[in-house]
Structure 1
């Protein structure tokens, strides 16, 4: 019996030593990351703002990471197609995803069935950019500010139409949140993107729209469109005279479009930390910031834990808005 006890003690000591060696070696092995190209699945088609921003970061990322970062565009189903690829990928840091508010927060409430769980199946890395929207109207509508617009909508319940960039998009949800907080009934009309929606307001085909800034900026500056408010919590440098929705009469309103970087759940923390450091450094580069702002997007480098909390908060917020508005996508 004593011999057995002594033998087990030897085995236990050996196992402890081997375990300690393995723990000491694991971080060293991960510190070699990356040793091969990294694929970034972008859930939007080539040419869009998210695609353009990621490609803008590539030269710096390739240099700092020492490996090529490859963009793989997988658009469709509000981001679900591309993000499902990421959710099923090995959690080794070599497949990442760029998703927006839809795929990462709202779709779980919009779709009856989802191919992934946006909270459980991903590890947030960093937000990449914020895309503020602007509420615009045709000058012939009459109101010059948001309070007067809301008063008009209350006087004509269910008669004012507001265009947005497509069912389930952040612009759609922005319009729904506006109606709920202002307690007015607006007829929400989906378009295939901000551009067509802004053009129809410009031509007088529809009185109102929620669109991204690049689609409307030049027409606002020319006085051909009225900018009632921006949907972000702060005013925009490009439209400093236009108030936020919160300032203009609906305190607490915030509906900013954004897109961010995620990795499959289970990706080792040292890899997440490395990716966060390199992507946020690239976003903080002054030349990059200027180029992004030229596209109408605001750089939004974020700590991992802050991005994680934001995703959880936005998921809860939009679940309430979607349920109240009874929005469903199949």
Structure 2
């Protein structure tokens, strides 16, 4: 072999060895692993991140810290991930809103999921439920069509609270109004907490929000569940039907939380992180700790997560067009 060819071969081997060493050292060194979260401390996404971080710290034998970059529906944290080096030291725990809805509702989100992120793995599946206040709508309203009939008879009280503007629940209100031929007005709040407070107080007759925030009031009899989104009933609420069971299509997508890395992160490292996350999430202790949030532990391959993000983005993109939603 000619000297030039030998030098070229040596250079290629050196690059390959450097990549392999990087993958190994990133998981073995003591440099803290950052998990970016796009919402404030104490919220459900933050609490999931902290449970995941605790498990990963043990699994990876390295410090793992949660860094809250709250604001703009997760956009700030997403932009921080885009700017991070693909060296395995930074991950992003995102909910489905940031990666599937923000890209189709914002004119300039500041990131492109397909180009700027590398999917790592799913962490939880997060259903939303439609709840009513029986003291307002009456004890006879027991399903979603019953609420539609009530709303038609009470045109001045057809408000449905949602946890955020431009969110899945806001789109759901639009879908329901069209499917049931009943005008419904979405009232955006700043999170599930304020929404549930007003729903329990009777300021709004109905609301769509996370299971964890609403379920305690269902159990106390102050609220009643009428429907859950997603392709099938959830194990925790087997008696609550899906919208599809009421003949309403378009609400099959379910929110989730998942981990992403910066684009360009070595594939071998992504697989190692995926395996570590799956081990933590599949442990009974993790499911028990997040049960109070009303979410379900779930795992996936990086490839399956990428497909789920794209499927969600396409579904919400169709809703944006159908409902004539104005980009923000």
TM norm. shorter chain > 0.5: yes
Counterparts in 2 of 1:88 and 1:106: CA distance versus 1, 3 Å: same
Partner of 1:297 in structure 2?
A: 295
Change (3 A) 1:182 1:87: farther
- Higher gyration radius (CA): 1
Kept in 1: contact 2:173–2:185 (CA 8 A): no
- Size of the aligned set, in residue pairs, is 323
Cross-structure match for 1:208: 206
Deviations 1:115-157 (A, max 9, x none): 1112211011112112211101122424221222334456777
Structure 1 stretches of 5 or more lacking a match?
A: 1-5
1:1-36 Cα shifts (integer Å, max 9, x gaps):
xxxxx9xx4312442344245435532442222322
TM-score by length of 1: 0.90
Distance 1:229 1:210, change over 3 A: same
8 A Cα contact 1:31 1:270, kept in partner: no
Q: Name the CA shift for 1:238/1:64 in 2 (closer, same or farther; >3 Å).
A: closer
2:8 corresponds to:
15
1:224 aligns with 2:222: yes
Q: Report if aligned partners of 1:78, 1:169 keep a CA contact under 8 Å in 2.
A: no
Q: Work out the CA distance in 1 between the residues paired with 2:319 and 2:238.
A: 29
Residue 91 of structure 2 corresponds to which residue in structure 1?
A: 96
Partner of 2:137: 141
Q: Which blocks of at least 5 consecutive residues in structure 2 are unaligned? A: none
Of the three residues 268, 272, 278, the one matched with 2:276 is 278
Greater displacement, 209-218 / 15-24? 15-24
Q: Indicate the residue corresponding to 2:19 in structure 1.
A: 26
Deviation track 1:174-202 (CA, whole Å, cap 9, x = no partner) reads 33333344454311111122222222222
CA contact (8 A) 1:158 1:185 kept: no
Match for residue 250 of structure 1 among 232, 248, 251: 248
Normalising by structure 2, what TM-score? 0.90
Q: 1:199 to 1:26 in 2, by over 3 A?
A: closer
CA distance in 2, matches of 1:173, 1:65: 40
1:266 aligns with 2:264: yes
Note the C-alpha offset of 1:280: 1.2
Contact 2:132-2:226 at 8 Å conserved across structures: yes
User: Given the superposition, is the C-alpha separation of residues 42 and 146 from structure 1 closer, same or farther in structure 2, using an over 3 Å criterion?
Assistant: same
189, 192, 195: which one pairs with 1:191?
189
CA-CA distance at 1:311 after TM superposition = 0.6
What is the Cα-based RMSD across aligned positions, in Å? 2.2
Task: Report the 3-state secondary structure (helix = DSSP H, G, I; strand = E; otherwise coil) of the residue aligned with 1:242.
Answer: coil
Contact persistence 1:122–1:263 (CA under 8 A): yes
- The Cα of 1:236 is off from its aligned counterpart by 3.0
